[in-house]
Chain A
Amino acid sequence: MSASWNYVFKFIITGDAAVGKSSILIRLTDQRFLANPDPTLGVEFGSKLIEIPEEGKVIKLQCWDTAGTESFRSITRSYYRGAAGCLLVYDVTSRRSFTNARTWLADVREHADPHLSCILVGNKTDLCDEPAPAGRPREVPTEEAELWAKEEGLLFVEASAKSGQNVELAFEQAARDILDKIRRGVFDDDRSPGVKLSKPVPNSLSLEHKRSTTCCS
């Protein structure tokens, strides 16, 4: 079981309150949509295996869902440093959340590893497809977000945690980007805190080694 993936990447999901960070994580790990999640207190954890077929690599994503509420920001910063990838989420029906993304990005840039791969994710696209009253008008045009992402050197995708559209893709793109950086030697395999090559824990007892060979699920 321990040999079934090649890398472990640590991801954080950040952005304003109520843009759907927890929903994206739950969509990724459980393939379901949470209609009314509680405002996340602190950080929740989830993980998922994804495959990048053209690289022939299986990657374990460990994602920390951070709290958007302002009062928790200082805690959130602690997570930036240890992450290899970051999903910066805004709500396409809220101009404000998009504007605030700049502040979040500044925060990430200040505290995170300079090589961190960051993808800008416009969430809740499902809302603008639906007619009112259930739907809400789009406030952030795709082109504008795309342009800003390009300026800042971010990856970009629009997604919907409700329908599941592009959610996995967002993580995949970011993971590809990190893999690419590893190949180019930017991430020094084991020395970056957010990237780990898969191998038995160095300090595990001998029985543990035996186990990893005999027990593969």
Chain B
Amino acid sequence: MEFFSQTYVALRGPTGAPQTAADTIGRLSDRLSPATLLADRRAAVLALKGLARDCKQDVGDRALPGLIEVLENDAEVDADIGKAALETLNILCETDDSASGHGARDLGFKHTDAVLATEKATHVLFTLLGDNSFYIRFATLQYLSTLLQNRRQIVQAYFLKSQAGPRSVIAVLEDKREIIRNEGISMVQALISQSPDIQKVLAFEGAFEKLFATITQEHGVEGGVVVLEALTCVESLLRFNSSNHSYFRETQLPPLLCTLLQFPPAMPFNEIAPQEFALQFWDDNKTANAAAVVRIIGMLLSTKANPAQEVPAFTRCLLEIALASNMPTPIKTQALRLLPTNLNYPLLELTVTPYMPVPETNGEEWDRLEAASALDALVELALHGEYNGLDAAKRSKDGLELRTAAVCVFENFSRKEENKQAIIATMLPAEGQNPKEYPPPRPLVHALIAPPNELDMALVTSTQLAALLFSHLLRASSSRVKSFAISLTPPPFHIAPTPTAGAFFVPADGVAPPAPPAAPEIDDDDPPQTLLQILSENLTLVSLARKRTDNSEREAREWDRLFVAYLSLFSQWLWDDAIAVREFLNAGGLSVLVEAINQTNEADSIIPGLCAFLLGICYEYNRQPGEITRSTIYPIISRLGVETLTGRMTRVREDERFKAVVPDSIVLPYPTPSHHPGLKPEADGEGEIWFDWAFVDFWKSNYFTVQRGLGTDADQLAASSGNAESAMLVASLREVIQKQAQEIEALTSKLGAASTAKSGEVVALEQKLSSLTTQLQESEDKRKEQDKEQEDLLVLLDELSNKRSRDKQRMKEAGLDVSEDEADDDEEDE
């Protein structure tokens, strides 16, 4: 008893003395040691939790090791103490606490570092994550999120070493309890961030399947923010991770992405996309989810290696979204931008059916428009904007972004020479057709040649975008495309029933728009104007219009915009195309340029600069005999001053409207630069376009050539650095070829001579050989004959000697004297 009271006094302190918080915390921390009773420890943790927020420093200093100890030893046994300890630790490590001041943030980091000093605490946490108790799991997730937020890389490194890590995380992702699952998804987002190893190990453990299970359970894109988080997780598992890419494509999940957008992944090519895909109700939530799905589709499309088999379905899905659906404009823009740059999809053959909202129905009723090829729909979208140019006049930034994205897709598509030719071919009259019977005007040409009589915002944008589209066809084209372009003779412009309407009409409305009025009779001796002539004329008209004094600031700016559009197009058309230069000069382009260069308006630097540039191009590529030659232009340039012209050009590069253009965004806020006096956007988010990136790029790479060209004399041809170089190269190569040809010729003749000489020799030898053979044959025969003769003689001799010996015998018998030898001879002679 004595002992207890003494201990109590010791713990309580001297009676009456006020206890400081530090004392209490110290005492509570001591009680966390495993020697005490579990109930005491629990009470201590709860008390510390109460103090943690107000005395963050003291609690952290004294209690951190004890709390971690409790986590390790008690949390699994007693969920209450585990939960309390986790929550206390979380409070101690929090850094995003807005209520407490700056000091608390630093403390949070300090405590985090203390907890993460060794891997022990993290491993305990990942083991606890496997605990099925709701409070433990939830509190662990929250605490892990806090740690990850503070020191992500350390936690990630520990995770990769922890036994239970991947398994527990997957268990959390498939937890039936929504709160845990959702909290888990956001923790995983932080955990996998920028760690390919963790991404792979989670993919191996089946994270993709679990996440998609959640997405479908939560009603796909219709679902709430958890769907968005799950999709974001999927996205980060895949981004910059080729291993996961290949694994993901192995699974049956990719088609699901199309299905999520209601787009049937296995739809035959010639079928029209179903209406439940094209027309849906959209709210902000669904828009964000769908945008995430589109992003994943785009990412899968962008990998070059082992193209997924879903590529056609994915490409079509993105095209349908942009061209024939009622999805929100930003998603459409995104879909177009995500189409691969080496787009290889039959845009001319694919049929789409765009839609248009029925007026006054608040987007609840839609008209299906006439089916068109995807390419036509794309051009239409670029020229007139969404829904047949419904809001084109407003020129919202979103709308312009979509239209320029369409231009980019067109550019990528027409990069292939064959596609380019196919597009140009649709603009020409059919073969054998009477040139007076014009083909129906293609929307692109139609928008391009729209006469600039009155200022119409929508029309200006259409013409501008048409100029962008057309310049994509001309830039770096083969001579074939260029000759197509120069001979293009569009039918005379007639104003469509409504100035902004495109070429589509609504079949539901019953009748097609009235056939275009017959082209007015043209005098036989007045040949129809070519496209280039019409454009030159329009250039002149605009240059007059922009000088009118009754223009408001806004109107003047629109005229300038149109002027810039024509100048950019001409610069790219006339570049390296002597015939086009001649046509342009013959159509009176020169005076317009000179006049604009001379104009001394401080406010505007772009137009004089562009005109100087174009003048330089006209001078540089003036290589065809014509009325206006280099010698005609030379004095004009001298009078204007090469220095002045170069100065004008330099100022273009300094202009905000030129500088602000970047590859993926050419739409600028209206007005740019923003501190323009007297100009205000008519509506929030109004945008404007001046240049596209292709032109900026073109300018930057050719600016110097033009500048040098301006400084060359009239009789000195081909001054451009690039051309001079290539000319020199060609000349040297030609020389080499010539030399080689001569050498080859010499060698051939030598070879011929040698071979004829050889063949003569061969013939002679052959003859000799044959004669020798016959000689041989003859002598052989002779020898044989002689042999035979000799043999006969021998036989004869033999017979004779026989006979003689017989005769000798007979003579001996007859008693005749027979000589031994001589007689033989004698007898032989007989």
Alpha-carbon distance A46/B200, docked complex (angstroms): 13
Q: Does B216 contact A (CB under 8 A)?
A: yes
Q: In the complex the two chains form, is A79's CB within 8 Å of B256's CB?
A: no
Which of B160, B167, B220, B253 is in CB contact (< 8 Å) with A74?
Answer: B160
Closest residue to B220 on the A side, CB-wise?
A205
Distance between A190 CB and nearest chain B CB, rounded to angstroms: 12
Residue-by-residue, is A195-217 near B (CB-CB < 8 Å gives 1, otherwise 0)? 00000111111011011101101
Q: Does A42 contact B (CB under 8 A)?
A: yes
Q: In the complex the two chains form, is A205's CB within 8 Å of B201's CB?
A: no
Residue-by-residue, is B729-741 near A (CB-CB < 8 Å gives 1, otherwise 0)? 0000000000000
Q: Please name all residues of chain A whose beta carbon is closer than 8 Å to the beta carbon of B309 when the two chains form the complex.
A: 1, 217
Would A75 and B201 be within 8 Å (CB), given that A201-B252, A201-B253 are in contact? yes
Closest residue to B200 on the A side, CB-wise?
A43
Q: Does A78 contact B (CB under 8 A)?
A: yes
Closest residue to B244 on the A side, CB-wise?
A45
Q: In the complex the two chains form, is A42's CB within 8 Å of B256's CB?
A: no
Distance between A165 CB and nearest chain B CB, rounded to angstroms: 26
Which of A41, A43, A211 is in CB contact (< 8 Å) with B204?
Answer: A43
* Tally of contact residues, A, Cβ under 8 A: 36
Distance between B309 CB and nearest chain A CB, rounded to angstroms: 7
Q: Does A81 contact B (CB under 8 A)?
A: yes
Would A82 and B216 be within 8 Å (CB), given that A46-B246, A62-B250, A75-B160 are in contact? no
Q: Looking at the complex, which of B89-97, B258-266, B749-757 is the stretch in contact with chain A?
A: B258-266
Q: In the complex the two chains form, is B246's CB within 8 Å of A207's CB?
A: no
Q: In the complex the two chains form, is B264's CB within 8 Å of A81's CB?
A: no
Q: Please name all residues of chain A whose beta carbon is closer than 8 Å to the beta carbon of B216 when the two chains form the complex.
A: 203-205
Q: Looking at the complex, which of B73-81, B205-213, B325-333, B427-435 is the stretch in contact with chain A?
A: B205-213
Q: In the complex the two chains form, is B160's CB within 8 Å of A78's CB?
A: yes
Q: Does B217 contact A (CB under 8 A)?
A: yes
- In the complex, which residues 256-297 of chain B have their Cβ closer than 8 Å to any Cβ of chain A? 256, 259-260, 264-266
Q: In the complex the two chains form, is B256's CB within 8 Å of A204's CB?
A: yes
Q: Please name all residues of chain B whose beta carbon is closer than 8 Å to the beta carbon of A201 when the two chains form the complex.
A: 209, 212, 251-253, 256
Q: In the complex the two chains form, is A200's CB within 8 Å of B246's CB?
A: no
Alpha-carbon distance A10/B204, docked complex (angstroms): 9
Closest residue to B202 on the A side, CB-wise?
A78
Q: In the complex the two chains form, is B200's CB within 8 Å of A211's CB?
A: no
Would A203 and B213 be within 8 Å (CB), given that A62-B250, A75-B160, A208-B259 are in contact? yes
Q: In the complex the two chains form, is A42's CB within 8 Å of B204's CB?
A: no
Q: In the complex the two chains form, is B255's CB within 8 Å of A208's CB?
A: yes
Would A82 and B204 be within 8 Å (CB), given that A74-B160, A207-B265, A211-B255 are in contact? yes
Q: Does B196 contact A (CB under 8 A)?
A: yes
Interface range for B: 35 or more
Distance between A47 CB and nearest chain B CB, rounded to angstroms: 5
Closest residue to B209 on the A side, CB-wise?
A201
Q: Please name all residues of chain B whose beta carbon is closer than 8 Å to the beta carbon of A74 when the two chains form the complex.
A: 160-161
Q: In the complex the two chains form, is A211's CB within 8 Å of B266's CB?
A: yes
Alpha-carbon distance A217/B312, docked complex (angstroms): 15
Interface of A is mostly: mixed
Closest residue to B265 on the A side, CB-wise?
A211
Q: Does A44 contact B (CB under 8 A)?
A: yes
Alpha-carbon distance A60/B260, docked complex (angstroms): 27
Q: In the complex the two chains form, is B253's CB within 8 Å of A215's CB?
A: no
Which of B209, B247, B266 is in CB contact (< 8 Å) with A215?
Answer: B266
Q: Please name all residues of chain B whose beta carbon is closer than 8 Å to the beta carbon of A208 when the two chains form the complex.
A: 252, 255-256, 259
Q: Please name all residues of chain B whose beta carbon is closer than 8 Å to the beta carbon of A215 when the two chains form the complex.
A: 266
Q: In the complex the two chains form, is B204's CB within 8 Å of A64's CB?
A: yes
Q: Does B616 contact A (CB under 8 A)?
A: no
Alpha-carbon distance A167/B242, docked complex (angstroms): 24
Q: Please name all residues of chain B whose beta carbon is closer than 8 Å to the beta carbon of A41 when the two chains form the complex.
A: 196
Q: Please name all residues of chain B whose beta carbon is closer than 8 Å to the beta carbon of A72 when the two chains form the complex.
A: 197
- In the complex, which residues 524-578 of chain B have their Cβ closer than 8 Å to any Cβ of chain A? none
Q: Please name all residues of chain A whose beta carbon is closer than 8 Å to the beta carbon of B165 when the two chains form the complex.
A: 78
Residue-by-residue, is B147-190 near A (CB-CB < 8 Å gives 1, otherwise 0)? 00000000000001101011100000000000000000000000
Q: In the complex the two chains form, is B246's CB within 8 Å of A79's CB?
A: no
Which of A2, A75, A203 is in CB contact (< 8 Å) with B197?
Answer: A75
Of B165, B212, B259, which is in contact with the most chain A CB atoms at under 10 Å from its CB? B259
Alpha-carbon distance A217/B243, docked complex (angstroms): 24
Alpha-carbon distance A10/B251, docked complex (angstroms): 13
Distance between B622 CB and nearest chain A CB, rounded to angstroms: 55
Alpha-carbon distance A10/B201, docked complex (angstroms): 13
- In the complex, which residues 38-95 of chain A have their Cβ closer than 8 Å to any Cβ of chain B? 41-47, 60, 62, 64, 72, 74-75, 77-79, 81-82
Distance between A208 CB and nearest chain B CB, rounded to angstroms: 6
Q: In the complex the two chains form, is B259's CB within 8 Å of A207's CB?
A: yes
Q: Please name all residues of chain A whose beta carbon is closer than 8 Å to the beta carbon of B243 when the two chains form the complex.
A: 42-45
Distance between A2 CB and nearest chain B CB, rounded to angstroms: 5
Q: Please name all residues of chain A whose beta carbon is closer than 8 Å to the beta carbon of B163 when the two chains form the complex.
A: 77
Q: Please name all residues of chain A whose beta carbon is closer than 8 Å to the beta carbon of B255 when the two chains form the complex.
A: 208, 211
Alpha-carbon distance A54/B785, docked complex (angstroms): 85
Distance between B339 CB and nearest chain A CB, rounded to angstroms: 23
Distance between A88 CB and nearest chain B CB, rounded to angstroms: 18
Which of A60, A79, A204 is in CB contact (< 8 Å) with B201?
Answer: A79
Alpha-carbon distance A75/B199, docked complex (angstroms): 11
- In the complex, which residues 211-225 of chain B have their Cβ closer than 8 Å to any Cβ of chain A? 212-213, 216-217, 220
Q: In the complex the two chains form, is B160's CB within 8 Å of A200's CB?
A: no
Q: Please name all residues of chain A whose beta carbon is closer than 8 Å to the beta carbon of B206 when the two chains form the complex.
A: 193
Alpha-carbon distance A12/B499, docked complex (angstroms): 66
Closest residue to B260 on the A side, CB-wise?
A205
Q: Please name all residues of chain A whose beta carbon is closer than 8 Å to the beta carbon of B200 when the two chains form the complex.
A: 42-43, 45, 64
Q: In the complex the two chains form, is A78's CB within 8 Å of B201's CB?
A: yes
Q: In the complex the two chains form, is B259's CB within 8 Å of A45's CB?
A: no
Alpha-carbon distance A10/B205, docked complex (angstroms): 11
Q: Please name all residues of chain B whose beta carbon is closer than 8 Å to the beta carbon of A46 when the two chains form the complex.
A: 246
Distance between B194 CB and nearest chain A CB, rounded to angstroms: 13
Of A42, A79, A210, which is in contact with the most chain B CB atoms at under 10 Å from its CB? A42
Q: Please name all residues of chain B whose beta carbon is closer than 8 Å to the beta carbon of A78 when the two chains form the complex.
A: 160, 165-166, 201, 204-205
Alpha-carbon distance A44/B197, docked complex (angstroms): 10
Q: Please name all residues of chain A whose beta carbon is closer than 8 Å to the beta carbon of B250 when the two chains form the complex.
A: 45, 47, 60, 62
Would A45 and B247 be within 8 Å (CB), given that A203-B212, A215-B266 are in contact? yes
Show 30 A/B contacts (Cβ-Cβ < 8 Å), sorted by A.
A42-B196, A42-B200, A42-B243, A43-B200, A43-B201, A44-B242, A46-B246, A47-B247, A47-B250, A72-B197, A75-B197, A78-B160, A78-B201, A79-B201, A81-B167, A82-B205, A193-B205, A201-B251, A201-B252, A202-B213, A204-B252, A205-B216, A205-B260, A207-B264, A207-B265, A208-B256, A211-B255, A212-B252, A214-B266, A215-B266
Q: Given A45-B200, A205-B216, A208-B259, 14 other A-B contacts at CB below 8 A?
A: A10-B204, A43-B200, A43-B243, A62-B247, A75-B197, A78-B160, A78-B201, A82-B204, A193-B206, A201-B209, A201-B253, A204-B252, A205-B259, A212-B252
Binding site for B on A (CB under 8 A): 1-2, 10, 41-47, 60, 62, 64, 72, 74-75, 77-79, 81-82, 193, 200-205, 207-208, 210-212, 214-215, 217
Give 3 closest A-B pairs by Cβ, nearest first. A74-B161, A203-B213, A45-B243
